[in-house]
Chains A and B, each alone.
Chain A
Amino acid sequence: RKEVEQDPGPFNVPEGATVAFNCTYSNSASQSFFWYRQDCRKEPKLLMSVYSSGNEDGRFTAQLNRASQYISLLIRDSKLSDSATYLCVVNSALSGNTPLVFGKGTRLSVIA
């Protein structure tokens, strides 16, 4: 089983739609969770961290379910500029320096 699994998509949605991405992780000791955004032929950029209580940033909502080892990202009122690949990222350690583990990414295309 891969450490971080995501549906690769692509998700093709019209402008204004609500879209949700899911991610599962295999290491129950994982402590930190993130969503990164990667535009075509560009570098990944941090979109948001994911907290146990869930967190929202404008049109974006991230949730974490530790019992199910599941992370989600919800995008409301999709814009054309949201078209990108969304990477689910997990880190396992409370102490020491363990690497971030990236999923393969879910590709989103928002269509006019």
Chain B
Amino acid sequence: EAGVAQSPRYKIIEKRQSVAFWCNPISGHATLYWYQQILGQGPKLLIQFQNNGVVDDSQLPKDRFSAERLKGVDSTLKIQPAKLEDSAVYLCASSLEGLAGGTDTQYFGPGTRLTVL
């Protein structure tokens, strides 16, 4: 079974530039998550989609970050404009149903490593 796919794997940009990341979840998974993992920290949820609707975006810095999952499958995460502190690994994960209490296993993609100079 194919896992969660992400691209690009690496991205280097200068501050104030824009960047977009793409995620293709495991086929049939209704729930998609974007996490930010800063070096030395655990992943932090940015946004959670259930099909094409947003379930939780409370920790998404909405002045510069946006995400969409228009057809309920692939998703893109955009940063515009980027700041130095956005340097991190951006992980996409998916789960079958996104069951309450987090009892539904989340499968992570390999991540996109972003460096903002």
**Interfacial residues, chain A to chain B (CB-CB below 8 A):** 4, 8, 31-32, 34, 42-46, 49, 87, 89, 91, 93-100, 102-105
Contact with A along B101-117 (1 / 0, CB 8 A): 11101101111000000
Q: Are B111 and A43 in contact (CB under 8 A)?
A: yes
Which of B55, B91, B101, B110 has the largest count of A CB atoms less than 10 A from its CB? B101
Neighbour of A102 across the interface among B44, B50, B59, CB < 8 A: B44
Give the A-B contact count at a CB cut-off of 8 A. 61
Which chain A residues border B101 with CB–CB below 8 Å? 31-32, 91, 93-95
Is the CB–CB distance between A95 and B42 below 8 Å?
Answer: no
Shortest beta-carbon contacts, A-B, top 3: A102-B42, A91-B102, A43-B108
Write the residues of chain B forming the contact surface with A, with a CB cutoff of 8 angstroms. Answer: 33, 40-45, 48, 50, 55-56, 59, 91, 98, 100-103, 105-106, 108-111
Inter-chain contacts of B111 with A (CB < 8 A): 43
Residues from chain B with Cβ under 8 Å of A95 in the complex: 100-101
User: What is the minimal beta-carbon distance from A14 to any residue of chain B, in angstroms?
Assistant: 25
CB A51 to nearest CB in B, in angstroms, measures 11
- Residues from chain A with a CB closer than 8 A to the CB of B59 are 99
Question: Beyond A43-B108, A43-B110, is A32–B102 a contact (Cβ under 8 Å)?
Answer: yes
B112 to chain A, nearest CB (A): 11
| A103 contact set on B, CB distance < 8 A | 42
If A97-B55, A97-B56 touch, does A45 touch B108 (CB 8 Å cutoff)?
A: yes
Which partner residue on chain B sits nearest A96 by CB separation? B100
Residue of A at shortest CB range from B3? A43
Which residues of chain B are near A93, meaning CB under 8 Å? 100-102
Q: How far does the Cβ of B57 sit from chain A's closest Cβ, in whole Å?
A: 10
Closest A residue to B103 by CB, please name it.
A32
